[in-house]
């Protein structure tokens, strides 16, 4: 109606200002514009209906709730949505209803995936901002405290496993008789001292998990900076042995120097042996065999040299492993001899008291002898 009145006004103005032909042209143009506007309005209304068919009230509720968290959806909104859905499904065939439900499920899945991605992006940005010094909540603020608790330093107790009083071992179930076992202070989770030291030298990553990573065993018992260190009882011998085993390059250097010294000492023997081989008839009778190698091309000689170098390297590595095992066994024996026992049973207490009495008697006799002299 508004467009019709507007067209009439335009026509009147044109009739007064210009001729009848121009007014008719203007009227036609206005009518075309009115028809275009009405058709576009109908098309928009049609699109709105299609959008409503694909996105009913249930989907709009899903979108709104997805932005503020799916756990905040109320029961009343869900009931209203179900009622509206049932009303909208009236007059539709079963195939159309099924297709609509499939589209709704796909749309809800898409909204949920977008919500998850939004949460992940916000978490990532929070971590980055926290690293730059901005006070903002991170994953550490919502994580479990016990899971991130570092191992605590602890003191140790040492006991002697005997046939009358056997001790359990975390590594081998039962400790060997007359061997020392250690455990964190105030616990009975014993492990053989030798087994603990060998495990420390072979695979350090398996030491603390023996106690479920509750105690800092390596930094407490085998560190020079710790007041609970076991190595402080080993003396100067334990210091040198520990330094030699920790420094892998030092051990290899000592082995290389030892091999070179042995070769230099036995050099006259090797000279005589090589001279006898080179001048022997058996060696020259095999000319047809090793002559081909002597006159082979350079790549063949390089390949043979590489194979010889690998053989020497493997032999040296085997020698290093053998020597290292010997040094570890010596370190275990040294710890067994020097680590004091802190937990005694009744028999051991009696033996300890008898030993103390004998030492006092011997000390008093020595003092008497000194006074007499």
pLDDT of residue 106: 92
The whole-number pLDDT of residue 246 equals 72
Is residue 90 a part of any domain in this protein? Answer: no
Rg (CA), the chain: 46
160 and 137 assigned to the same domain: no
- Domain C-terminal end among 199, 228, 257: 228
pLDDT of res. 264 = 93
Question: Is the same domain home to 279 and 318?
Answer: yes
pLDDT at position 307 is: 94
Give residue for tokens 């507007």.
6
261 with 219, same domain: the answer is no
Reduced to 3 DSSP states, what percent helix, strand and coil does the chain have, rounded to the nearest 5?
75, 5, 20
Is residue 191 one of the residues assigned to a domain? yes
Residue 370 lies in a domain: no
For position 146, what pLDDT does the model report?
54
* CB half-sphere exposure, 196, CA atoms < 13 A: 27
* 223 in any annotated domain: yes
Report pLDDT for 360: 64
Is the domain of 104 the same as that of 167? no
Q: Do residues 159 and 343 touch, judged by C-beta distance below 8 A?
A: yes
- The tens digit of pLDDT for each residue in 103-154 reads 999 999 999 999 999 988 888 888 888 888 888 888 777 665 555 578 889 9
Closest-CA residue to 108 (of 56, 49, 51):
56
Strand partners, 179: 161
CA 182 – CA 359 distance, rounded (Å): 27
User: ∠ at Cα 326 (325, 330), nearest 5°?
Assistant: 115
Specify if 314 maps to a domain: yes
Within a domain: 347: no
Instruction: Classify each residue of 67-98 as buried b or exposed e, where b means 16 or more C-beta atoms within 10 Å of its C-beta.
Output: eeeeeebeeeeeeebeeebeebeeeeeeeeee
Q: Give me the DSSP letters along 14-54.
A: HHHHS-HHHHHHHHHHHHHHHHHHHHHHHHHHHHHHHHHHH
Note the helical H segments in 55-93: 57-68, 75-88
For residue 102, the model assigns a pLDDT of 92
Does residue 351 sit within a domain?
no
What was the pLDDT predicted at 92? Answer: 78
User: 204 and 270, same structural domain?
Assistant: no
Question: Residue 244: what pLDDT?
Answer: 77
Residues 275 and 199 in one domain: no
Same domain, 201 and 283: no
Give the pLDDT confidence score for residue 351 in this predicted structure.
62
Q: Which residues of the chain have pLDDT under 50?
A: 1-8, 10-30, 32-80, 83
Q: Mark whether 258 and 317 lie in a shared domain.
A: yes
Beta bridge partners of 135: none
Inside any domain, residue 193: yes
Domain carrying residue 213: 156-228
pLDDT of 30 reads 47
Number of domains in the chain: 3
Which pTM was predicted? 0.52
Residue 117 has which token pair?
Answer: 């991605």
């Amino acid at each position: 109606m508004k467009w019709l009145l507007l067209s009439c006004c335009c026509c009147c103005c044109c009739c007064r200002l210009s001729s009848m032909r121009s007014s008719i042209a203007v009227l036609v143009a206005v009518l075309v514009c009115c028809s275009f506007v009405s058709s576009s309005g109908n098309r928009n209304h049609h699109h709105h209906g299609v959008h409503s068919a694909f996105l009913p009230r249930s989907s709009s509720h899903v979108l709104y709730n997805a932005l503020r968290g799916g756990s905040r959806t109320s029961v009343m909104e869900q009931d209203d949505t179900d009622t509206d859905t049932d009303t909208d499904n009236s007059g539709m065939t079963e195939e159309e209803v099924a297709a609509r439900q499939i589209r709704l499920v796909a749309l809800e899945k898409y909204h949920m995936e977008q919500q998850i991605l939004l949460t992940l992006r916000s978490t990532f940005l929070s971590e980055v901002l926290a690293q730059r010094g901005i006070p903002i909540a991170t994953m550490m603020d919502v994580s479990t405290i016990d899971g991130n608790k570092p191992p605590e330093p602890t003191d140790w107790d040492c006991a002697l496993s005997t046939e009358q009083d056997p001790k359990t071992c975390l590594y081998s179930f039962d400790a060997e008789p007359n061997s020392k076992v250690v455990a964190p202070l105030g616990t009975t989770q014993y492990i053989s001292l030798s087994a603990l030291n060998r495990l420390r030298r072979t695979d350090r990553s398996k030491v603390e998990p023996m106690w479920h990573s509750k105690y800092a065993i390596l930094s407490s018992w085998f560190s020079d900076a710790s007041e609970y260190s076991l190595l402080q009882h080993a003396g100067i011998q334990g210091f040198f042995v520990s330094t030699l085993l920790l420094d892998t390059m030092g051990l290899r250097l000592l082995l290389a120097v030892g091999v070179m010294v042995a070769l230099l000492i036995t050099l006259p023997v090797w000279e005589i042996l090589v001279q006898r081989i080179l001048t022997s008839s058996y060696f020259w009778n095999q000319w047809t065999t090793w002559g081909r190698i002597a006159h082979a091309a350079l790549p063949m000689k390089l390949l043979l040299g590489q194979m010889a170098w690998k053989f020497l390297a493997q032999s040296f590595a085997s020698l290093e492993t053998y020597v290292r095992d010997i040094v570890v066994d010596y370190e275990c024996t040294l710890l067994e001899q020097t680590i004091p026992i802190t937990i005694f049973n009744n028999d051991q207490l009696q033996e300890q008291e008898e030993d103390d009495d004998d030492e006092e008697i011997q000390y008093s006799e020595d003092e008497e002898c000194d006074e007499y002299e």
